[in-house]
Structure formats: structure tokens, C-alpha cells
Structure 1
């Protein structure tokens, strides 16, 4: 009987490894940039075409390679970063596994040039599907250039699963942001479809963050610095008012390596308790430096997950350091123990105008007259009568057809049932259909602003905004765009009482804008986003006319049962449902 266990050919094993290492074009860029960093580069240039699907090129002025090193670099588990097993437990380089180039070359076309001396002596290698098809000597400056073309050309199923160009470009921008911020002493440039997006000179960490994320972030940066025996922390925390609805501004680096860590995120977020609105996330650029022996980077091939020897102590250190940082800059709320609580204003009275107190005068009152028992009883009975009348009036209100409970639900009745409506979801549905109608019929009404709203866009936001201008126009926005400055002079009438700047930034920072699994189109995304931002919020009190208007508008919608995100808007309780409760 013949043996059935076989050793896979190299090209097959490399393609299998590519499934973990090369998930999308941004994965390729990450590996190439890490190689440039490990080569001691001082200048790195990135060239992208068609969101990396057709070309990803990284050019550096690093140490370079000999022709033998170039050949070896495409062999699986060949690396210059480690030599023995002990090195695995004290990794200081960005790469070390020796898998990336072998995996990348197996699913793409590669052109590499490199020179390791200043005498312009270099070499060129061309590969297709992991096989060398051409090589020659060239006259080159010191450094390395590698082109990765037509990713997944020989794995059509994987290529078909790539997202739209803008989704893939956003992932590429995220990788570039991580590497550029954590290596501010290196000069970077990024060119997308022959348009220069970034040119970053060598600068301080603070200036690099401002260069990447825009001038508006400057005034919100709070420095953090803490040195302990376990780890040294430094970087910047963003003020609570700069918090976003996405985790777009959350960056964690361990020994300059960008990582993802839920427990570090939780440690920082818990430091902001009481300072953030519901649904908002803090922003930060946190650098953690610690002994490489105390961490394990070899958890996953993408090297973004790390295991810590003493994660509980690290959690406490980060939590207390962030709280201390917020306290020093007087961000945390202050408690006044000498304040007289009797002078507090209730939440219900904050937005109401003060009323002139009414003064009633009893013209028959005589302070020198002694009250007799009959007068006292008479006055007391009148008091009880007035109290009973007030309760009767309240009962009459409750018996009306529509009323509000908990400042969250509207209760209405039909002939045979009780209907409980979520006011927030109901208003979302009404606005959603209204916005969609405005987009498709170009019938939106604009409200001119007294003072234009100016928003400085980041480079990433600008790229996205240029893609969605058509839908933006059809909604009723009137604006002028000059470089990165967006000046809005008119807005849709439904948004006139909302924070326009916050809504626009929330749209441009949302990672799901081009996710077809969650949004049918850009128009659908816009309508969902704007309806959520401008809808009646939970906790808002409505008068009887507003309640009735909301109910009538809801049941005039094409789909009154579900919110734009497919949540149930109302429930119906018939007589049997109620009786079964007793």
C-alpha cells in the first residue's frame, strides 16, 4: 500500500502562507515598509496605483543587498533579523519570520533592484509567481526598490474578494499613518495614482502627528510621559472634546511596532469615564517601550498582536498615567465640596426660561383676627378639593390617545391594541426616507447659514470627499473647497439645528462608507448617517403636537416597521398580551 502523506511543493506552501501574510494590498505595503525600516533607511518613498491592486512600490536609501541576499530573501524562512532560538524571545527588529517576501512573490509579479555600496553597483531581479524570469547588473544608488504588481493575479478568487479601490486605499493609508507616526525621524512620501498625498520631512513626534492628521489636532494634544520599572510610556492623549464615534485616532506602539490590543484600549478608555459622550471613543498616540524579553511578538504572522508577561501591571500603569495626564491639564471634572446643594438646578429646568412668581393677596386677611375652628376646617377642605382636581386632570391626560413615557417611547392606541414606539428609531426612519427622496429627486431644500462653517480636512478625508461630492451636492449642501479647507455656506433644512462639522467628520471617518454589505450605495450610507445624526434623541421630551406629528409621519413611510439599520421601531400589545401578564 502506497504512502499518502506528502511534502507540499514550495510554490504550494508559499501560496498557503500568503493567505495569512498577504490579506490585501495594505498587508504587502506593511511588510515592505518594515523591511525598509530594518534596513536603516532615512528616506522612504511609497508609490501606489489603483489602491495597490496594480502596483505597490517602496523605494528606500537603506543598507541594500547583494545579489545572493536578493535571491535568498525570496526563500521561505530566510531572514537577516535573527540567528538562533534565543533571538526569537528578544526581538527588536520589525520583521523576523522570513515569510513575507516568499509569500508575496508567490501571488504577484515582482521587480527588485538593490545596491549596498556607494559605487553605483547594483542588481535587478524580476519574478512572476515566485519564479525568477530575469536578472541583471545595473548602476544604482545605494538602497532598495521593490515593485509588487498585479497582486493575486494567479489566485482569481482572492482578487475578486478585494474591496473597492477606496476601501483598499483607506487600509493603505492606515498602514502608512502607523509607520509614518512611529518613525518621525525618517522622511516619507506617498504618491497615489501619480498624485502626491504626503511629503513628510524629519520632524518631532508632535509635528509629525500634525502633518499627518491636520492642523486642527494641534490644540487637542496632551503630552503623556511615565517611566516605570515595567515600561516607559510617552506620546499624546487627545482631549475629550476631540473624541470620535470611530476608533480612527487610536494608535498604540510597543517598541515602535504598531499593535492592536483590546486590554490597552480598555485601560485608556476607562480613564476617560465621565468625560465622553455615549458612543464616542478617546483618541491617543501611545508609545510603550519595554524590555523585548518581556513580550512575545510571535503570536500571528501579521505581528500586530503581542503577549505581555505582566499585562495586569501594565494595565494599571497605563490607566493611572492617563488619569494623571488628564488631571495635570485640568481635563477631569472638579468636585466642589463647599457647594450648597440646595442651589442646584434640576435637569428639567436648565433649558426653561425663568418665570415671574405670581403673588396672591387676600384682601380680607386680618393678622389680628383669631382664627376659629370653622374657618380652619373650611380652608382645609378647599385644599383637599383642589388637590383632587389636579389629580383628576392628570388622569385625563393619561387617557388621551397619544402620550410619552420615559422620554423615550410614544404610546398610542388603536381599536384593539396598544402601540409602543421608539421615538429615536421612528424619527430615523422618517428622515432616512426624506433624505433618500432628496438625493434621487434632487428636490432637497437648503438653508443658508449666517456664517459659513469651515472644516479643515485631513489628506485621507480629502481623498474620500472628492469621491462623494455628487451625493453631497444632491443632499442640499452648498460649499467651496480650496485645498484642504471645506467652507459650507448652506445645509439641508433638516440639519439646521445640528452640529454640521461633527456630522461631516463623522461621515468622512466612517470605515463602512464603502462597505456594500452594510450599505446599498453611497446614497444609502449618507441617508443612514444623516438620519442618525439629526434624529430626535432618547431622553428628549416632546409635547403632544410633536408626538402626534411623529406618529402620523411614521405610518406614512413606505417601511414603518424597521429603522434604517433594520431595528424594530414599535411593538404592538393586544388585549390577550396584556391579560397574559396578570
Structure 2
């Protein structure tokens, strides 16, 4: 009987893996914004067209990449974040698996222009559907410019089931807000179909919250700060009088990452007990810091 088991081609494996990392345009924005922050960017610009299906553009002024790194960055499990399994338990970066760019490139047409501070010229790298197309020298500023075009163009079944452009735009905006709220020391810009949505200057956390959420919240923020044996907690909560029946101004972060926790949400509501009606929800922007090994 003939042997039946065979290795999948690398391109096919990356397309399958893409489903774990990239399930919508907002996933691409999140992964690539976090890469820009890991690269030490002081300014990150995001632009998208047609809800991200036509184009997602991420521009940063971070450290940039060498020509070799610009090519290797699209290989699966190629990463600058860890070198041994033990490093996973002391992470201070967002990405570490080296799968994001490979997965994104497997289901889109990607163009990267990047330059390091010490290089006279930069590098332009093109990847289409996971296949290397070309790499050439190019004039560009220090940092990286990613152009992700035609998301899921080579996986038509996935592309057909993408959310409507308006829904995708809202999801991208939500991811942008979460990352911007967690990094007030970095300037961010968001454009939808080349029209400005947010222009956020680097500044204080309170200022960033007001810039992202709106000026209505400025008078309702109460600063909180506490140290426990497990974690340091800081941030802002809303005054009880400002509680609303439907409240989207609720954010929890741990070591720079947004997360959701029914346990902590219940604890916060318990603190507001008898201060707000049972049908209302308070605003909160709480940041937990703890040893990465304990997460």
C-alpha cells in the first residue's frame, strides 16, 4: 500500500496558520501596531481602505530592518524576541512566536519598505500569497512601512465571509484605541480611507484617555493607585454619577496588553455597589503590572 502521509508545502501551512493569527483586518492592525511598538517607534500611523480588505498601511519610525532581516521577517517562526524557551517566561515584548508576518503575508500581498538609522538606503521587499517576489534597494525614511493589500485574495472562501466594511472599520478603530490607551508615550495617527480619524500626541495617561474617549470624560475621572503582593494597579475610574446603562468605556490592561476578565469586572462592580443603580455600568481604565512569569 502506498504511503499517504506527506509534509504540507510551506505556503499551504502558512495559509492554514493564518487562521489562528489573522481572522479579520483588525487582527492585522493589532499585530503590526504591536510590532511597531516593539521596534521602539515614537510615532505609528495606521491607514486602511474598504474596512482593511483593500489596504492596511502601518508606518512607524522605529529601528527599521536590515535587508536580511526584512526578508527573514516573513519566514515562519523567525523572531527577534526570544532565543530559548525560557525567554517566554520573561517577556517584555508583544510578539514572540514569529508567526504574525508569515501568516499575514500568506493571505495577502505585502510590501515592506524599511531602513535602519545607519544605512544610506532602505530595502523594499514584496511577498505575494506567502511567495517571495522581489527585494530591491529603495529610498525611504528610517523605520518601517508595511502595505498589506487584498486581504484573503488567495483564499476566496475566507474573503467572502469577512465582515462588512463598516463593521471591520469599527473593529480596527477598537483595536487602535486599545493600543493607543496603553501607550500614551507614543504618538498615533489613524486614517480611514485616507481621511484622519485620530491624531494623538504623546503625553500623559489622563490626556490620552480624554483624546481617545472624548472630552466628556475629563471631569469624571478619578485616579487610582495601589500596590499589592501580586500586582501594581493604577489608572482611572469614573465617578459614580457618570455611570451609564450601556458603557463601552471599560478597559483592563496587564503589562501593556488589553484583556477581559469576568472575575475582575465583578470585583469592580462590587466596589460600586450601592453607589450606582444596578442597571448601570461605571467607566474604568485600569492598568495592572506584574512579573511576566506570573501571568
TM-score bracket for this pair, using the shorter chain length:
over 0.9
For 1:137 and 1:269, locate their aligned partners in 2 and report how far apart those are by CA, in whole Å: 56
For 1:269, the equivalent position in structure 2 comes to: 269
For 2:293, the equivalent position in structure 1 comes to: 293
For 1:212 and 1:170, locate their aligned partners in 2 and report how far apart those are by CA, in whole Å: 14
For 1:199, the equivalent position in structure 2 comes to: 199
Alignment of 1:78-477 (within 5 A): 78-295=78-295
Higher relative helix content = 1
Higher relative strand content = 2
For 1:23, the equivalent position in structure 2 comes to: 23
For 1:7 and 1:276, locate their aligned partners in 2 and report how far apart those are by CA, in whole Å: 59
For 1:49, the equivalent position in structure 2 comes to: 49
User: For 1:89, what is the secondary structure of its paired residue?
Assistant: helix
Q: How far apart are 1:118 and its partner, in Å?
A: 4.2
> Using a 3 Å threshold, how does the CA distance of structure 1 residues 225 and 87 change in structure 2: closer, same or farther?
same
Q: How far apart are 1:120 and its partner, in Å?
A: 3.5
Give the total of aligned pairs. Answer: 295
User: For 2:90, what is the secondary structure of its paired residue?
Assistant: coil
Q: How far apart are 1:274 and its partner, in Å?
A: 2.2
For 1:2 and 1:277, locate their aligned partners in 2 and report how far apart those are by CA, in whole Å: 70
For 1:4, the equivalent position in structure 2 comes to: 4
CA deviation profile, 1:381-438 (whole Å, cap 9, x unmatched)? xxxxxxxxxxxxxxxxxxxxxxxxxxxxxxxxxxxxxxxxxxxxxxxxxxxxxxxxxx
For 1:244 and 1:91, locate their aligned partners in 2 and report how far apart those are by CA, in whole Å: 37
User: For 1:270, what is the secondary structure of its paired residue?
Assistant: helix
Question: Is this contact kept in 2: 1:118–1:141, CA < 8 A?
Answer: no
In the superposition, the TM-score normalised over structure 1's length comes to 0.50
Alpha-carbon RMSD across the aligned residues, in angstroms, is: 1.3
Q: How far apart are 1:27 and its partner, in Å?
A: 0.2
> Using a 3 Å threshold, how does the CA distance of structure 1 residues 161 and 243 change in structure 2: closer, same or farther?
farther
In the superposition, the TM-score normalised over structure 2's length comes to 0.96
User: For 1:168, what is the secondary structure of its paired residue?
Assistant: helix
For 1:54 and 1:63, locate their aligned partners in 2 and report how far apart those are by CA, in whole Å: 27
Question: Is this contact kept in 1: 2:213–2:249, CA < 8 A?
Answer: no
Q: How far apart are 1:195 and its partner, in Å?
A: 1.0
> Using a 3 Å threshold, how does the CA distance of structure 1 residues 77 and 201 change in structure 2: closer, same or farther?
same
For 2:97 and 2:279, locate their aligned partners in 1 and report how far apart those are by CA, in whole Å: 39
For 2:167 and 2:248, locate their aligned partners in 1 and report how far apart those are by CA, in whole Å: 14
For 1:245 and 1:77, locate their aligned partners in 2 and report how far apart those are by CA, in whole Å: 45
For 1:156 and 1:146, locate their aligned partners in 2 and report how far apart those are by CA, in whole Å: 23
Question: Is this contact kept in 1: 2:115–2:123, CA < 8 A?
Answer: yes
For 1:210 and 1:168, locate their aligned partners in 2 and report how far apart those are by CA, in whole Å: 24
Question: Is this contact kept in 2: 1:46–1:58, CA < 8 A?
Answer: yes
CA deviation profile, 1:136-169 (whole Å, cap 9, x unmatched)? 1012221000011111111111111112221111
For 1:468, the equivalent position in structure 2 comes to: none
Q: Which runs of 4+ in 1 moved over 6 A?
A: none
For 2:247 and 2:135, locate their aligned partners in 1 and report how far apart those are by CA, in whole Å: 45
For 1:224 and 1:112, locate their aligned partners in 2 and report how far apart those are by CA, in whole Å: 42
CA deviation profile, 1:284-316 (whole Å, cap 9, x unmatched)? 111000111111xxxxxxxxxxxxxxxxxxxxx
User: For 1:48, what is the secondary structure of its paired residue?
Assistant: strand
Question: Is this contact kept in 2: 1:31–1:100, CA < 8 A?
Answer: yes
For 1:249 and 1:36, locate their aligned partners in 2 and report how far apart those are by CA, in whole Å: 25
| Higher RCO (CA-CA < 8 Å; seq separation 6+) | 2
User: For 2:274, what is the secondary structure of its paired residue?
Assistant: coil
Question: Is this contact kept in 2: 1:120–1:141, CA < 8 A?
Answer: no
For 1:38 and 1:60, locate their aligned partners in 2 and report how far apart those are by CA, in whole Å: 11
For 1:280 and 1:158, locate their aligned partners in 2 and report how far apart those are by CA, in whole Å: 38
Q: How far apart are 1:125 and its partner, in Å?
A: 0.8
For 1:181 and 1:292, locate their aligned partners in 2 and report how far apart those are by CA, in whole Å: 20
For 1:260 and 1:9, locate their aligned partners in 2 and report how far apart those are by CA, in whole Å: 37
Unaligned runs of 5+ in 1: 296-582
For 1:144 and 1:93, locate their aligned partners in 2 and report how far apart those are by CA, in whole Å: 18
Question: Is this contact kept in 1: 2:52–2:168, CA < 8 A?
Answer: yes
For 1:27 and 1:238, locate their aligned partners in 2 and report how far apart those are by CA, in whole Å: 29
Q: How far apart are 1:82 and its partner, in Å?
A: 0.5
CA deviation profile, 1:452-504 (whole Å, cap 9, x unmatched)? xxxxxxxxxxxxxxxxxxxxxxxxxxxxxxxxxxxxxxxxxxxxxxxxxxxxx
Q: How far apart are 1:247 and its partner, in Å?
A: 4.8
Question: Is this contact kept in 2: 1:112–1:124, CA < 8 A?
Answer: yes
Question: Is this contact kept in 2: 1:121–1:139, CA < 8 A?
Answer: yes
Unaligned runs of 5+ in 2: none
CA deviation profile, 1:16-39 (whole Å, cap 9, x unmatched)? 111111110000000000100000
For 1:333, the equivalent position in structure 2 comes to: none
Q: Which one has the largest radius of gyration?
A: 1
Q: How far apart are 1:119 and its partner, in Å?
A: 4.2
For 2:81 and 2:17, locate their aligned partners in 1 and report how far apart those are by CA, in whole Å: 19
